[in-house]
Amino acid sequence: MCGAHARTWLAGLRCPSEECLPAGAGGCYPALNAWIGEALDPGNRDRTVAALLADQHRRAGDTSARRGIKRRLANAETRLRRLREAIEAGAHPEALVDSINDAQAQRAAAGAELDAVGPAPDLMADAEVYARLDALSDIKRT
């Protein structure tokens, strides 16, 4: 394996085989080098990027759940805003107490759910994945 980028990129990889030998002595390195060479081959570039993008989305979890929570939060805030506007327009506040409490409870629940799922994942765009593959261009098949 050659290239500073390769050493950094692959630093966390460990072969599960107990038969691994130092680089150049056999073991799994030739197979690993062949796999990396195939993945970074210009002819496979689009397929590699597509696979990496699909994997990052899979690892990021279900973002549709996050969107649903944000939608419920926005709906509760919209409802509270409308109730406030109704009071400002002359509606009797005591008649809206139950609606206000319900909307506040929905907003609090959605906010707690959003906090529980944690921050939104920082996903790479296609162009960034292509750029990172280009940065690894000094890796040659051995």
| Stronger pLDDT, 57 or 131, i.e. the higher one | 131
- Say how many domains are in the chain: 2
How many angstroms from the chain centroid is the CA of residue 74?
A: 23
Percent of the chain with pLDDT over 90: 30
Q: Once rounded to an integer, what is the mean pLDDT over residues 81-107? A: 94
Q: How confident is the model at residue 44 (pLDDT cuts 50, 70, 90)?
A: confident
Residues 127 and 111 in one domain: no
Q: Which residue has the tokens 């319900």?
A: 102
* Sign (positive or negative) of CA dihedral 39, 40, 41, 43: positive
Q: Is residue 142 part of a domain?
A: yes
Q: Is residue 37 part of a domain?
A: yes
Q: What is the pLDDT at residue 3?
A: 46
Q: How confident is the model at residue 85 (pLDDT cuts 50, 70, 90)?
A: very high
- Is residue 1 pLDDT above 60, yes or no? no
Q: 128: domain range?
A: 27-61+123-142
Q: Once rounded to an integer, what is the mean pLDDT over residues 59-88? A: 87
**CA–CA dist 33, 70 (Å, integer):** 44
Helix, strand, or coil (residue 118): coil
- For residue 43, give the DSSP letter: G
Q: Which residue has the tokens 């002595």?
A: 25
Q: Is residue 6 part of a domain?
A: no
- Is residue 79 pLDDT above 60, yes or no? yes
Q: Once rounded to an integer, what is the mean pLDDT over residues 124-140? A: 78
Residues 77 and 104 in one domain: yes
Count how many residues are written for the chain.
142
Q: Following DSSP, what letter does each residue of 83-98 receive, concatenated?
A: HHHHHHTT--GGGGHH
Of the candidates 116, 86, 112, 115, which has an alpha carbon nearest to the alpha carbon of residue 100? 86
Q: Is residue 12 part of a domain?
A: no
Average pLDDT value over all residues in the chain:
77
For helices 29-40 and 45-60, angle between their N-to-C axes, nearest 10 degrees: 100
Q: Is residue 5 part of a domain?
A: no
Q: Is residue 110 part of a domain?
A: yes
